[in-house]
Amino acid sequence: MKIVILDGYTENPGDLSWDAMATLGELTVYDRTPHTDEVVAERIGGAELVITNKTPVSRAAMDACPNIRYIGVLATGYNIVDVAAAREKGIVVTNIPTYGTNAVGQFAIALLLELCHHVGHHSAAVREGRWEACPDWCFWDYPLIELAEKTMGIIGYGRIGQATGRIAQALGMKVLAYDTCQHPKLVSETCRYAELDELLRTSDVIALHCPLFKETEGLINRESIARMKDGVFIINNSRGPLIVEEDLAEALNSGKVAGAGLDVVSTEPIRGDNPLLKAKNCIITPHISWAPKESRQRLMDIAVENVKAFLSGSPVNVVNG
């Protein structure tokens, strides 16, 4: 049984081990694979099992590699695989749905806390000698914000949204949750469901934790921003295209939106002409919410279990069943 990993580097840059996967077949690991059908097909070759993170596996690649029986995605999102083609060909496609819940929720709050305190900026200012030269015993040059009693609106209240909500409530915040699937047991004195319009109008912080569908693409745009409070914070470490970036940049520069913390953008890696790079008070990190070692180890463990389940004849986490 031949197994090919098309782009293993971001999952395992050297601090983890592929040994468990190697026990399941003849394993070949590529750090990166160019995103062309020809190269993808060449590297898959005669392999039966294909593992990918962000390298697309198209119908053309499947046509060129008739031995493929299984495609495992090293992520929750699986839009890089032509699942319809895979279904037609009887190829099982799996994903990894729950590996990074706590890591992503933690990172959303990290972005928010940085907006509130600008820790990195003030640490750099100290090293630049500004505190030493200060006539007072302390200084700050950004507004410092306390979160207790403020309201966080969370759009998408699944596992990750709930993880973010729990931390927000621990900080003394109230949570408004918007989701098409509601769980009454999550409602408390500090957390309740709300319609999207109320969430937009009344939240001090809006965090995006929803999937990218046609109906959510561009959810944050000029019109929805106009319905928000003046001085709102926006956090997005879900999917970049949830935001119309030109509209958010305009709102940041005008002060309508006081700050944004983003771990994702519409095109990744980010392009130099992205308007958010020059927007005021916009923190952008390079899609690393998912990347703590603990989270990546969990992802690898689940990927191995997915392959084992497939080989045993009882596949799990199937997305094209």
Grouped pLDDT means (10 residues each) for the chain, 321 residues: 97 98 98 98 98 98 98 94 98 96 98 98 98 97 96 98 98 98 96 98 98 94 98 98 98 98 97 98 98 98 98 98 84
* 101-284 matches 2-99+293-311 in CATH topology: yes
Active site residue 268: yes
Predicted pLDDT of residue 140: 97
Active-site pick, 146, 195, 215, 268: 268
Q: Which two tokens stand for residue 284?
A: 């952008």
- What's the pTM value of the predicted model, to 2 decimals? 0.94
Active site residue 130: no
Active-site pick, 239, 245, 296, 298: 239
CB of 31 within 8 A of CB of 8? yes
Predicted pLDDT of residue 5: 98
Predicted pLDDT of residue 256: 98
Q: At what angle do helices 101-117 and 159-170 cross, to 10 degrees?
A: 40
Closest CA to 33 of 5, 8, 7, 54: 7
Active-site pick, 118, 209, 287, 298: 287
193 DSSP assignment: E
Q: What is the identity of the amino acid at 37?
A: D
CB of 94 within 8 A of CB of 286? no
Cis peptide before 269 (omega within 30 of 0): yes
Active site residue 198: no
Give CA–CA dist 49/71, Å, rounded. 6
Closest CA to 68 of 86, 54, 81, 55: 86
Angle at 82 between CA 76 and CA 86, to 5 degrees: 100
Phi, psi of 300 (to 5 degrees): -65, -40
Predicted pLDDT of residue 266: 97
Architecture per CATH, domain 101-284, reads as 3-Layer(aba) Sandwich (3.40)
Give CA–CA dist 194/242, Å, rounded. 19
Instruction: Give the contacts of 18 (CB within 8 A, at least 6 positions apart).
Output: 5, 8, 12, 27, 29, 300
Q: Which CATH superfamily is domain 2-99+293-311 in?
A: NAD(P)-binding Rossmann-like Domain (3.40.50.720)
Predicted pLDDT of residue 321: 84
Angle at 34 between CA 30 and CA 36, to 5 degrees: 125
Domain boundaries, the chain: 2-99+293-311, 101-284
207 SS3 class: strand
H or E segment and range at residue 159: helix 159-170
Q: Which two tokens stand for residue 198?
A: 């109320």
75 SS3 class: coil
